Amino acid sequence: MTRLRVLHAITMLELGGAQRNTLDTCRLLDRGRFAVGLACAGRGELLAEAERLADVELFALGRLRREVRPADDLRALGELRRVVRSFRPDVVHTHSSKAGVLGRLAARLERVPVIVHSIHGFGFGAHQAAPVRWAFLAAERLVAPWTTEFVAVSRRNLEQGVALGLFPRDRARVIRSGIDRAAFRAPGGGAELRRSLGIPTDASLIVQVACFKSQKAPERFVELARLVARRVPAAHFLLVGDGELRGRLEAARAAAGLDGRLHLPGWRRDVAAAYAAATVVTLTSRFEGLPRAVVEALTAGVPVAAMAVDGVAEVVRDGVDGFLVAEGDTASLAARVVELLEDPARRAAFAARAGEGLDEFDRDTMVRQQESMYEELARSAGLLGPRTTGHGPRSVSGAA
């Protein structure tokens, strides 16, 4: 039987939640019902993993990049159009800002019947200069009418999209970015990670997992470490990640006198071990969709202290399994971290409740919801016949 052909497009496969979400979806979509393609920039830490995906047709693009470069962007649009002609998708599903705009434009120009866009947080906001922000918003508004369905990872992002006039509520739904919850329940490796970084076994350890870019505001973590260290001199700090701000963070660490206590090991594949080693996990982002790192930490039973941006408040329960403070209030975040470090009983109570209510963040749940969405939208577009009983493959009329 013919399968629905689904092409995912994302700007760059760096280490991040949107990228992991996309790779997990490509890996786990039911091959009896879907043929899968993936288009992305020809670089990124996760590209090698994408190359190993079974039964996924990978298109690595030379011109697709995150930065706004009009000449390269036009060439990337041409590359994406050629990918669409080659793969002949029934559904194009885009992720991230640049691939979201160019991918939807390419799909529209090539007359793809169903176009889906996932919002993993908006690529524009108050952190940008007004002309840049309005240019990004204008690009989103250009391609929004051609989008069959929007998927938001948080209710907050969905409501923001409605308020901005990007889509009506009846063309959007929430599908959480799911994780492999089994891999983060009671993780091991914490003691070995501490040994490898020279962190004493009995030292309190504050952990943050984030790319070193402006959105994640890692410089706030350095300031938080400076403030916490005044109150808890034996504490250590671990910032797992890497990126363009590394040099600035290393300089700030030295200026704060935290060399040897604030660890910057780069990206690590054993993120679960970092949670196993953690006393508290923090988040200092300026904006988010709904960060998987917070879900992972809570699943691992670690209390979270975070800035309440976008969908964070939909997973961290203030005063129950963590603390929330206003975005940008690093001093209050540091005070909350100290409160947890100095109150083991409260910390244990938070940890005991940290894994509650996270069923909707399961990776398999995410993929099954997307499969249902693709078939629902394909049926509305006339690509599938009436819904039938049973769970076997359904025939597709008009598919390539």
- Are 284 and 208 in contact by the 8 Å Cβ rule? The answer is yes
* 73-84 residue pLDDT tens: 999 999 999 999
Query: Residue 276's pLDDT band (boundaries 50, 70, 90)?
Result: very high
Beta pairing class for 114-119 and 149-152: parallel
Separation between Cα atoms, residue 138 and residue 69, nearest integer Å: 16
Q: What pLDDT is stored for residue 389 in this prediction?
A: 46
Say if 400 falls within a structural domain.
no
Predicted local distance difference test score (pLDDT) of residue 132: 74
Count of domains in the chain? 2
Sheet-wide strand order for 262-263: 262-263, 236-240, 205-209, 280-283, 304-307, 322-325
Q: Are 369 and 339 contained in the same domain?
A: no
The answer on 19 and 155 residing in a single domain is: yes
Helix (H, G, I), strand (E, B) or coil at 71: helix
Amino acid code (one letter) for 342:
E
Structural domain boundaries, residue 127: 4-178+362-380
Nearest-5° Cα angle at 178, 174 to 180: 165
User: Is 388 inside a domain boundary?
Assistant: no
Mean pLDDT of all residues in 252-267:
96
Write down the pTM of the prediction.
Answer: 0.89
Question: Is there a single domain that holds both residue 82 and residue 215?
Answer: no
pLDDT digits (tens, 9 = 90+) for 148-180: 999 999 999 999 999 999 999 999 999 999 999
pLDDT in tens, 343-380: 999 999 999 999 899 999 999 999 999 999 999 999 99
Indicate which CATH number applies to the domain containing 134. Answer: 3.40.50.2000
Please state, for a pLDDT cut of 90, what percent of the chain lies above it: 83
The pLDDT assigned to 122 comes to 82
Same domain, 331 and 375: no
pLDDT of res. 390 = 44
If one counts every other C-beta atom within 10 angstroms of the C-beta of residue 152, the result is 28
How does residue 202 score in pLDDT terms, banded at 50, 70 and 90? very high
Do 226 and 340 belong together in one domain?
A: yes
Amino acid at 33: R
How far is residue 285's CA from residue 313's CA, in Å, rounded to a whole number? 13
Q: In angstroms, rounded to a whole number, what is the distance separating the alpha carbons of residues 17 and 164?
A: 24
Amino acid at 312: V
Main-chain dihedrals φ then ψ at residue 48, nearest 5 degrees: -60, -35
Question: What is the pLDDT, as a whole number, of residue 251?
Answer: 98
Model pLDDT, residue 2: 79
Whether 201 is covered by a domain: the verdict is yes
For position 126, what pLDDT does the model report?
Answer: 64
205 and 174 part of one domain: no
135 and 240 inside one domain:
no
329-341, pLDDT tens digit by residue? 999 999 999 999 9
- Examine residue 389 and state whether it is found in any structural domain, yes or no: no
Residues 224 and 265 occupy one common structural domain: yes
Say whether pLDDT at 31 is over 70: yes
- DSSP, collapsed to helix, strand or coil, labels residue 293 as helix
How sure is the predictor about 239, in pLDDT bands with cuts at 50, 70 and 90? Answer: very high
Same domain, 39 and 98: yes
- Is 9 inside a domain boundary? yes
Mind listing the pLDDT tens digit for each residue in 88-130? 999 999 998 899 999 999 999 999 999 999 999 887 666 667 7
Q: Are residues 164 and 185 in the same domain?
A: no
pLDDT of residue 127: 64
Residue 394 lies in a domain: no
Residue 395 lies in a domain: no
286 with 174, same domain: the answer is: no
* Whether 214 and 345 share a structural domain: yes
Residue 235 lies in a domain: yes
% of the chain beyond a pLDDT of 70: 95
